[in-house]
Amino acid sequence: MAEAKPNKPSGAVQTTGHAWDGDLQEFNNPLPRWWVWAFYATVVFAVVYWILYPAWPIGRSYTKGVMNNITFKEGDKEVTMHWNTRALLWRDMQTGPEAVKQRRYMDQVANADYQQIVSDPKMMGFVQSVGKVLFADNCAACHGSGGQGKIGLFPNLSDDAWLWGGSLEDIHATISQGRHGYMPSFRATFSAAQVEQVSDYVLSLSGHQVDPASAAAGKAMFNGQGGGCYYCHGENGKGMKSQGSANLTDSIWTIADVPGQGTLTGKRDVVAQVILNGVHRQMPNWNGRLSATEIKLLTVYVHNVLGVGK
Amino acid sequence: MAESAPQNIIYQARIPIYPRSVKGRFRRLKWGILTFAYGVYFLLPWLRWERVTGPDQAVLFDIAHRRFYLFDLVVHPQDIFWLAGFLVIAAMLLFFVTGIAGRAFCGYFCFQTLWTDVYILIERLVQGERPARMRLDKSSWGAEKFVKKGATHLLWVLVALLTGLTFTLYWGDAPKLLLQLFTGAAPFPAYATTVFLAATTYVMAGLAREQVCTYMCPYARFQSVMFDRDTYVVAYHAERGEGTRGRARLSRDSKTREQRQQQGVGDCIDCGYCVQVCPTGIDIRNGLQIQCISCALCIDACDTIMDSVGWPRGLISYDSERVQQGGKTRLIRVKTIGYAVALFAAIGMLTWSIVFDSAFDMAARQVRQPLFVVLSDGRIQNSYDLKINNKSERTVTATLSLQGLPRGSLALATGDPRTLRVAADDSLSLRVRVRMPKDSRGEQIPFHFVLRTAAGTQPVVLREQAYFSMPRRAPADD
């Protein structure tokens, strides 16, 4: 061992000099000095960080940091803020690559007419993902996340029946102008027996096996001056788009939960309740709340993705 | 410094190491590996490759467009589990090799070792051999020291920059990116990556060197625990080198091997060459140590000396602990077989996955909110979101149909045509509807979506299982 020995102190391994229980000792393997300097460097880093970024709480406020302004647009006005994750997100949502990509699609949708959008699978892919978010944010509170609605309260948008029309133009009008669905109460018009007869007739329209005599009497009131139901529902009960009146001949029920009733009596009762109480429903207009492009996206989404448009 | 230091030093300055150069078979092997590795690393980004779609760079990790190009293999984000497979293979290979040959990775393949080798080479070419370097370090600052040290660091920085630059070129189109980097038009991450890699290369290979292996590297630690008595390690044969009376330098009356053996002196002539060539600055004659990276340069050094005195080689050699104790190394043991099986299984599975990866695939996910819808004619409708991926380099035209649902009908939310066009290296997501007369209650009817490529193109038929949900409660029915 004649050579100078690097990295190895001569003699036995050092101990820290402490002894426990008489002979229990601890080796001292010195840390490399640069390691200590690296530790000091982290301390310096922390101090620099405190100066540059939001760091220390002071009462209800905190140190904001210096030279870290972020400018972003909130609505129409330009806001400059100290560095924080919310401002970063805002800026990213306006200038990030995904945001730029989204804006390009948005412009494409804004400049296309409905036929162009519907026939372009790429644009439809965009409608599908953006429409889902728009619908969830604005419409799902009433219509449900999948547009399934709620019988008696909000129409089901995922089927192929449309009270106010199912074309793209109709749906556009519905979203932008809102709708007001109304059916008067017939409590004062009909006697209890007449309500039953009209209910039987309504059920018979969609193929239910009811007492023919009762249904015939109901039909007379439905199509006559006594009830005047045909004013809105039409003579054959197919409903009218202009009135938002329901088609009574199909399998779909929006107010009376007929499918949910096990017995014919039960079905008749729920129909009778609608006749007695009437209907009063309202959908707000979204013209001021959503942009024209957003309404366009939602229209296609409801017409093609969510439901079965005409 | 240890002599003068107090008993309890807690921090220790680095003791400089001046590795002497050596010639021999392991040094040749190491230069060979280094040349090959540098050749691959520095030239690969410049290799061009012809593709129908996509860039013409053979190896390109295109983060922005979410594609990794490896020659004819294009890796999509959904193939990311291949990375897991690759890492499993790498880990198993490391375990396998370490179990047999010790820290072979450290000594021959690790980039820390390769780059340190190059930096030591630069040092030697500029400043001279070990004694010259030691003298230069001890001398006071003058013109010679300034020029030589300056030139060394300059070359180090150059190599570091080249290393960082090359790494960056793997992530973008190399010729274009290089031009951008020099004209100041490259994106910030490109500069950051180049500078960061250059800085770490300079610090790790130039300044930190063996400390990386000793203090920082986790692999060094866990490779050591995979040794056993049959693992080949660089070993000094103490019984031969030390004899009964220890090692001794050559002197007038202990010159020949016979003389020495009669005196009980071992074959080690204590020349110190093995210590001088060690890049981690240890003395292998003290036995296997944690700093040893198995680079085998001490074997070359000792062999050179043994050749010059005319004694048999192998005073320091690759041997297992069992051989040192007079046994025979067993290569086939539970551990090596186990690692080999796991290694080949992982290689097989990854190869299988890559070779049989479909360039065209489809996934169907049922819309669950609502699960089913009653249509005005009383039929039941289920909706599905289909995602069709075309990973090939040509546009695919295909038709969609149902199988196993005789009464069902298919409609696309975008209206028909049912002929779908998926552009090359693109995907298509669409909502489709399946309608069926209500003929049962609460049933889940299995069926398949079938996607058939149009005639004239490569025939592909994809089948994707799905279920049709019937309402539990019968609507408009008693």
- Confirm if B469 and B444 have CB atoms less than 8 A apart: yes
Distance from CA of A307 to the nearest CA of B (A): 9
Please give the residue of chain A at the shortest CA–CA distance from B413. A304
Distances (CA, A) of B234 to A60, A109, A154, A279, B317: 64, 70, 80, 92, 6
Q: A-chain residues within 8 Å CB-CB of B377?
A: 250-251
Q: How far apart are CA B262 and CA B266, in angstroms?
A: 10
Interface of A with B in 163-192 (CB under 8 A): none
Distance from CA of B58 to the nearest CA of A (A): 26
Q: Would you call B374 and A160 a contact, using CB atoms and an 8 Å cutoff?
A: no
Across residues B293-313, what is the average pLDDT? Answer: 95
Q: Would you call A5 and B283 a contact, using CB atoms and an 8 Å cutoff?
A: yes
H runs (alpha helix) in B23-80? 25-43
Q: What percent of chain B has pLDDT over 70?
A: 95
Which H or E run includes B263? Answer: helix B257-263
Q: Would you call B3 and A10 a contact, using CB atoms and an 8 Å cutoff?
A: yes
B423, amino acid identity: A
Q: Which residues pair with B365 in a beta bridge?
A: B385
Q: How far apart are CA A230 and CA A239, in angstroms?
A: 8
Q: Would you call A28 and B208 a contact, using CB atoms and an 8 Å cutoff?
A: no
DSSP class of B73: E
**For B19, phi and psi rounded to 5 degrees?**
-65, 130
Check residue B417 and give its pLDDT. Answer: 62
Mean pLDDT by 10 residues, chain A (310 residues): 40 75 84 90 97 94 92 86 91 88 92 90 87 95 93 92 94 96 94 95 94 94 92 93 93 90 92 95 94 95 90
Give which of A91, A23, A37, A245 is closest to A155, Cα–Cα: A245
- Confirm if B250 and B269 have CB atoms less than 8 A apart: yes
Token pair belonging to B170: 């793997």
Check residue A208 and give its pLDDT. Answer: 92
Q: How far apart are CA A248 and CA A200, in angstroms?
A: 12
Q: Would you call A259 and B374 a contact, using CB atoms and an 8 Å cutoff?
A: yes
Report yes or no: A116 at the B interface, CB cutoff 8 Å: no
Using DSSP's 3-state secondary structure scheme, residue B317 falls into strand
Check residue B475 and give its pLDDT. Answer: 47
Across residues B404-409, what is the average pLDDT? Answer: 90
Distance from CA of A217 to the nearest CA of B (A): 23
Q: Would you call B478 and A259 a contact, using CB atoms and an 8 Å cutoff?
A: no
Q: How far apart are CA B234 and CA B102, in angstroms?
A: 9
CA–centroid distance for A37 within its chain: 54
- For B311, counting Cβ atoms within 10 Å of its Cβ (0-12 exposed, 13-18 middle, 19+ buried), the class is middle
Check residue B414 and give its pLDDT. Answer: 67
The 10 Å CB-count burial string (b at 16+, else e) for A266-302 is ebbebbbebbbeebebebeebeeebeebbbbbbbbbb
Distance from CA of A263 to the nearest CA of B (A): 7
The beta-carbon neighbor of A206 closest among B12, B474, B476 is: B476
Q: What angle do CA B230, B325, A13 make, to 5 degrees?
A: 90
Give which of A182, A172, A181 is closest to A287, Cα–Cα: A172
Alpha-carbon torsion angle B201, B207, B212, B216, nearest 10: -90
Residue B463 or B344, more confident: B344
Q: A-chain residues within 8 Å CB-CB of B9?
A: 14, 28, 30
Q: What is the mean pLDDT of chain B?
A: 90
The beta-carbon neighbor of B429 closest among A8, A128, A263 is: A128
Q: Would you call B17 and A35 a contact, using CB atoms and an 8 Å cutoff?
A: no
Token pair belonging to B85: 């497979």
- Confirm if A130 and A103 have CB atoms less than 8 A apart: no
Q: Which residues contact B254 (CB under 8 A, 6 or more apart)?
A: B248, B260, B263, B265
For residue B219, name the pLDDT band (cuts at 50, 70, 90): confident
Check residue B327 and give its pLDDT. Answer: 87
- ipTM for the predicted complex: 0.77
Report yes or no: A158 at the B interface, CB cutoff 8 Å: yes
Token pair belonging to B205: 């290979």
In this structure, the strands spanning B11-12 and A31-32 are: parallel
The beta-carbon neighbor of A118 closest among B9, B17, B415 is: B415
Residue count (chain A): 310
In chain B, which segments carry CATH 2.60.40.10? 360-477
Check residue B474 and give its pLDDT. Answer: 52
Q: How far apart are CA B211 and CA B223, in angstroms?
A: 17
Distance from CA of A221 to the nearest CA of B (A): 24
H runs (alpha helix) in B271-320? 273-277, 297-309
Query: How close are the terminal C-alpha atoms of chain A, in Å?
Result: 95
Q: How far apart are CA A310 and CA A61, in angstroms?
A: 57
Token pair belonging to A118: 């519907």
Check residue B391 and give its pLDDT. Answer: 86
Please give the residue of chain A at the shortest CA–CA distance from B380. A159
Q: Range with the lowest mean pLDDT among B112-126, B183-197, B375-389?
A: B375-389
- Confirm if A305 and B431 have CB atoms less than 8 A apart: yes
Q: How far apart are CA A15 and CA A31, in angstroms?
A: 14
The beta-carbon neighbor of A31 closest among B12, B280, B282 is: B12
Q: Would you call B215 and A32 a contact, using CB atoms and an 8 Å cutoff?
A: yes
Check residue B448 and give its pLDDT. Answer: 95
Across residues B21-34, what is the average pLDDT? Answer: 96
Q: What is the pLDDT of residues B425-475, one digit of tens each?
A: 888 888 899 999 988 777 889 999 999 887 666 677 888 999 999 887 654
Using DSSP's 3-state secondary structure scheme, residue A106 falls into helix
The 10 Å CB-count burial string (b at 16+, else e) for B178-203 is bebbeeeebeeebeebbeebbeebbe
**For B386, phi and psi rounded to 5 degrees?**
-100, 140
- Contacts A–B by Cβ distance under 8 A: 140
DSSP class of B471: P
- Confirm if B62 and B68 have CB atoms less than 8 A apart: yes
Give which of B302, B458, B433 is closest to B380, Cα–Cα: B433
Q: How far apart are CA A96 and CA A82, in angstroms?
A: 19
For residue B307, name the pLDDT band (cuts at 50, 70, 90): very high
- Confirm if A247 and A237 have CB atoms less than 8 A apart: yes
Got the DSSP string for A2-57? -S--TTS-SSSPPEEEEEETTTEEEE--PEEHHHHHHHHHHHHHHHHHHHHS---E
Check residue B123 and give its pLDDT. Answer: 96
Check residue B476 and give its pLDDT. Answer: 45
Check residue B313 and give its pLDDT. Answer: 94
DSSP class of A154: B
Residue pointed to by tokens 């290393």: B163
Check residue B421 and give its pLDDT. Answer: 85
Distance from CA of B215 to the nearest CA of A (A): 9
**For A23, phi and psi rounded to 5 degrees?**
-130, 5
Q: What angle do CA B464, B470, A205 make, to 5 degrees?
A: 135
Q: What angle do CA B388, A103, A74 make, to 5 degrees?
A: 135
The beta-carbon neighbor of B413 closest among A251, A260, A305 is: A305
Q: Would you call A33 and B11 a contact, using CB atoms and an 8 Å cutoff?
A: yes
**ω into residue B370 within 30 of 0, thus cis?**
yes
Interface of A with B in 217-246 (CB under 8 A): none
Q: B-chain residues within 8 Å CB-CB of A1?
A: 270, 283
Check residue B30 and give its pLDDT. Answer: 97
B23, amino acid identity: K
**For B371, phi and psi rounded to 5 degrees?**
-65, -40
Q: Would you call A34 and B378 a contact, using CB atoms and an 8 Å cutoff?
A: no
- Confirm if B160 and B150 have CB atoms less than 8 A apart: no
Q: What is the pLDDT of residues B152-184, one digit of tens each?
A: 999 999 999 999 999 999 999 999 999 999 999
Report the topology of domain B360-477: Immunoglobulin-like (2.60.40)
